[in-house]
Structure 1
Amino acid sequence: MSRFKRANNADTMAGFRTTQPEPAVPNGLLKAARKSGQLNLSGRGLTEVPQSVYRLSVDPPEEAQQDSSFGASDRWWEQADLTKLLLASNQLTLLSEDISLLPALTTLDLHDNVLKSVPCSLGALQELQQLRLSHNQLSSLPVEVCSLKNLRSLTLQKNLLENLPEELGQLENLTELDVSSNRLKALPSGLGSLAALQKVNVCHNQLSCLPDGLSQLTSVKLLDCSNNLLSDVPASLSHMLSLEQLYLRHNKLRRLPQIPAPALKELYVGNNQIELLEPETLAGLTAISLLELRDNKIKVLPEQITLLTTLTRLDLTNNDVGTLPASLSLLPDLKVLLLEGNPLRGIRRDLLTKGTNELLKYLRGRIKEEPEKVQEGQTAMTLPSQATVNLHSIKTLKVLQYSEQQAESVPEEVFDAAADHGVATVNFSRNQLTSLPPRLLDFSSSLSDINLGFNRLSCCSPDICKLLQLTHIDLRNNQLSDLPAEMKNLSKLSSIILNYNRFKSFPEVLYEVVSLETVLLGNNQVGGVDPGRLLKLVRLYTLDLSNNDLLSVPPELGLCSSLRSLSLEGNPFRAPRAAIVAKGTDAVMEYLRSRIPA
């Protein structure tokens, strides 16, 4: 017996065999994919997709070549079609035309690779619903991709795309399109045909304009156009009836876009060159909750900011705002007001650091105070803009301003200076006027916005009804108890502010002004409202009846389906309960509808 015992497990043929390389995709993964229909190969360092993956649904598995029996769970001929293929975060430079051998795919994820192109055979994947191609080096998109009728999500961000195929409009079921961080200088006109789109991201490109066709995207809820070269935004965007979030940060806008989209809740226009907030533009933001205006050049915050009764957050950081209108504190839902980096006068720095609540409390205190008479010689220098009549404002902005003068009448020279200049906005607020200045009729063909707030008007002259171009009337803080019946002739009137007056009922004539979108009647003595007649105001989005004498709220008010903001706080009614009112308009409307007798 030999003294040298051979190890029982030694392989005597080891030196004669060739080593089999490890497969790029383990057979176990392929076997599992045949059962589940899903294959995840993300983050495996692949430089190419193995043929075994492309042919997964074509070739029988290795087990089929061997003489072995199969259990019920291993019947390869009953395998599931591959529907989900994840190839993200590899080093793929090429995708083979053989991808067409996987026609059942619904999800194909190729993001975070180094693809410079994708094959035309992608068009054969007619079941595809998600195609992720972001973070690659694509310079073009094959037109065949546009034939994928079931595609719902197409993500192409962080590529080198300079244009998109016009045929993109054929993707009739597409709900999400992300082409951000590319080199696009224009968007295809066919984009407007994507009726199912809900989310569009075109930020970080080189767009200088947006196609009018975007207005046809009535299902879009989010549109991000930030970090482009936009100097204007088409007014037709107001036809995007579902638009809730609009991002326009870091562009070249010089004015706030006039886009009264009825559902718009969040508007981001920070880091532009906006200098002026136009009253009619603000009046159109009937459902706005968040307004970001930071890092612009805004100098004046107009009184019409109080039209934004649904506003909860206002960001004015890093602008040129010198004064704040005290009426800002009347916004019922404002919770966050950001003002850092503005040259504010008349407000102590320590007050700004105490937060929004303290600041609004201070502004409310200023409303109650009687404006003091401005004494001569208060400033060492009188700037041209502080003169009795600001000619620059009249000529360039079409604004005639004679406010905070505590005057009992408006001097004739004020009207003379504005003659023949097509004045569109008149601000005579914070004076001692007891009647409408007769010469306002000089501007009957052009005047669209008039502010007579904080005066001593006890009646509203029918002459105001001759200003047929009026779209906005501000009569807050007066002594009014009625409005002239002739006001029904103002067919363009969209908003009227009557807060802090003496109305004991909803003004009868307003039921007949069908163009109205905003009615503010807070802090009066209104005892009732007729919901049946309110139903005729089909454009009425905002109704403020807070702090009045309503003993009951008619359930039929819940049928006013156009209302987006209904303020009822501070009334003596018992139903709906305060807890329901605090939840907001939707909760109140739902409660009221539930109380309508069957």
Structure 2
Amino acid sequence: MNPLFEYFQHNHALAKIEYAIMTKSSCLTLEDFDLEMLPESVLKCEHLGELLLAHNKLQSVSLQINSLKNLHTLAIDYNNLDRFPNELKELTQLKFLNISHNPIKDLTEHIGCLTNLEHLWCNACCLSAIPNAIGNLEHLDTFGARNNFISQISPGVCKLVKLRWLTLDNNKLTSVPAAFENLQSLIHLNLAHNHFNSIPYTLCKLKKLRYLLFQSNELFSINESVLLKMKQLYKINLMNNPISSNKETLTKFNNILLPGANFEAPSQDVESDSDSESTSTDWEDSIGSSEIDFGRSEEASDDEDAPVDVLPKLSKYLLTY
């Protein structure tokens, strides 16, 4: 990295922290500062509610992070964490946690300590399993663990009775446990890009389910009796499956998205409930990141031998008073 840019970047990060301390700010954004460790001065931000640390080089989290008693949102996605930060177990007040895009192989049982979590994102880590302790997160509303290596859904997931959005896209799943029917609050379920050879009958028992993403699995045929019991769904996406179905079957179910089918979203007054979000198009497709995973534009490559490249990078430090 160019030394000039590194100097400005380091000092700008410290200045932002000092400003947050001085103004008693509730939000601190330190994204894309190439931080290898969390500056100790962050721990002096006593009023901090949101700490956004995406796109850095963090390999660990400060042992004293539990001193941030008001912290409810923590985004540490796109870093270099190779283990779940056990230091977080003391942050029992956390409601939003994003650890996506870190080479974390195991969430560990400590995830069960965060009993107030409402949104948990661990997309594109290296997870092969989800610990049963996740069942302790009784307030969990949104859980995303797409692009991992998960081959089984742990029984703990089936205890998340308030869960409304579950994304397990692009894993190694072949089935769901029978207790999956306990997820009676589930509205959106993404099981695309796995290895299912049939739609699990258990999904028929999810009375609030409205969107099922099941594309790119290994379905060769459709069980019509299952689909008949899923009439309340607004969309069942079965694209990119090796399905052979006759025209009569395709026309019978207007909530199925298949090659050759005339998809027509059914009217959304079927078993309508008071939850207006269940009829929102925001629920239809899984998002690649979470609402606390703030996007950023890709920067130009960092070429240390080309000083001209420093100027665009430095431009973000130019302030107008």
Would you say 1:53 and 2:28 are equivalent positions?
no
Aligned with residue 584 of structure 1, among 262, 266, 269? 269
Counterparts in 2 of 1:97 and 1:163: CA distance versus 1, 3 Å: farther
Of 243, 250, 261, the residue aligned with 2:193 is 250
- What code does the residue aligned with 2:107 have? L
Change (3 A) 1:48 1:140: farther
Q: Please, which of 290, 295, 299 is the counterpart of residue 235 of structure 2? A: 290
Three-state SS of the structure 1 residue aligned to 2:181 is helix
- The two structures have a TM-score, normalised by structure 1, of 0.41
Query: Which AA in structure 2 matches 1:132?
Result: A
Secondary structure, aligned partner of 2:247: coil
Contact 1:162 1:185 in 2 (8 A): yes
Q: Counterpart amino acid of 1:339? A: P
Alignment CA distance shift 1:588-1:52 (3 Å): closer
Check conservation: 2:82, 2:102, Cα contact below 8 A. yes
Q: Distance in 2 between matches of 1:227 and 1:194?
A: 23
| Matched pairs, number | 266
AA at the equivalent of 1:248: L
Q: Which has the higher contact order (CA 8 A, sep 6+)?
A: 2
Give 1:337-356 correspondences, 5 Å limit: 338-340=258-260
Residue identity matched to 2:27: K
User: Which of 314, 320, 324 is 2:247 aligned to?
Assistant: 324
In 2, the alpha carbon distance for the partners of 1:337 and 1:52 equals: 49
> Are the structure 2 counterparts of residues 588 and 53 from structure 1 closer, same or farther at C-alpha, using a change threshold of 3 Å?
closer
Shift of residue 585 of structure 1? 4.3
SS at match of 1:236: helix
Aligned to 2:219: 274
Q: CA 1:102–1:337 in structure 2 vs 1: closer, same or farther (change >3 Å)? A: closer
Aligned to 2:76: 133
TM-score, normalisation: structure 2: 0.73
Contact 2:159 2:182 in 1 (8 A): yes
- The alignment partner of 1:45 has SS state of helix
CA separation in 2, counterparts of 1:125 and 1:160? 25
- The root-mean-square deviation of aligned C-alpha atoms, in Å, is 3.0
Q: What is the DSSP-based 3-state SS (H/G/I as helix, E as strand, rest coil) of the residue aligned with 2:166?
A: strand
My pick for the range that moved more, 200-209 or 231-240, is 231-240
CA-CA distance at 1:189 after TM superposition: 0.9
Structure 2: distance between partners of 1:276 and 1:134 = 39
Matched, 1:115 2:38: no
In 2, are the aligned partners of 1:48 and 1:91 still within 8 Å (CA)? no
Aligned to 2:42: 99
Cα 1:583–1:124, aligned 2, differ >3 Å: closer, same or farther?
A: closer
Q: How far apart, in 1, do the equivalents of 2:25 and 2:90 lie? A: 21
Deviation at 1:54, TM superposition (A): 5.9
Letter in 2 for 1:274: L
Residues 281, 49 of structure 1: alpha-carbon distance in 2 compared, 3 angstrom cutoff:
same
Q: Which runs of 5+ in 2 are unaligned?
A: 275-321
Query: Which of 1 and 2 has greater Rg?
Result: 1
1:213 Cα offset (Å): 1.4
Structure 1 residues not aligned, in runs of 5+: 1-20, 25-43, 58-78, 300-320, 341-351, 358-564, 566-581, 590-598
Amino acid at match of 1:156: I
CA distance in 2, matches of 1:588, 1:219: 15
Give the distance between the partners of 1:52 and 1:100, measured in 2 at CA: 13
- Asked if structure 2 preserves the Cα contact closer than 8 Å seen for 1:150 and 1:171, the reply is yes
Is the Cα contact below 8 Å between 2:237 and 2:258 reproduced in 1?
A: no
Contact 1:94 1:115 in 2 (8 A): yes
Aligned residue in 1 for 2:98: 155
In structure 1, give the amino acid aligned to 2:125. N
Contact 1:141 1:164 in 2 (8 A): yes
Give 1:152's aligned amino acid. Answer: K
Partners of 1:50 and 1:335 lie apart in 2 by 53
SS at 1:325's partner residue?
helix
Where does residue 184 of structure 1 map in the other structure? Answer: 127
Contact 2:26 2:49 in 1 (8 A): yes
Equivalent residues of 2:94, 2:116 under 8 A apart: yes
Percent of counterpart pairs with the same letter? 24
Query: How far apart are residue 336 of structure 1 and its match?
Result: 7.4
Contact 2:161 2:185 in 1 (8 A): yes
Question: Which secondary structure state, in structure 2, belongs to the residue aligned with residue 249 of structure 1?
Answer: coil
Superimposed CA distance per residue, residues 244-266 of structure 1 (whole angstroms, 9 cap, x where no aligned partner): 11111111112212222111111
Aligned-pair CA distance for 1:338: 3.9
Alignment of 1:47-446 (within 5 A): 49-50=13-14, 53=17, 57=21, 80-258=23-201, 259=203, 260-299=205-244, 321=245, 323-325=246-248, 329=251, 334=254, 338-340=258-260
Cα drift, residue 158 of structure 1: 1.0
1:177 is paired with a residue of what secondary structure?
Answer: strand
CA contact under 8 A between 1:47 and 1:93: conserved in structure 2?
A: no
Q: Compared with structure 1, are the counterparts of its residues 99 and 171 closer, same or farther at alpha carbon in structure 2 (3 Å cutoff)? A: same
Distance 2:89 2:273 in 1: 45
Q: Give the drift of 1:171.
A: 1.5
**How far off is 1:177 after superposition?**
0.5
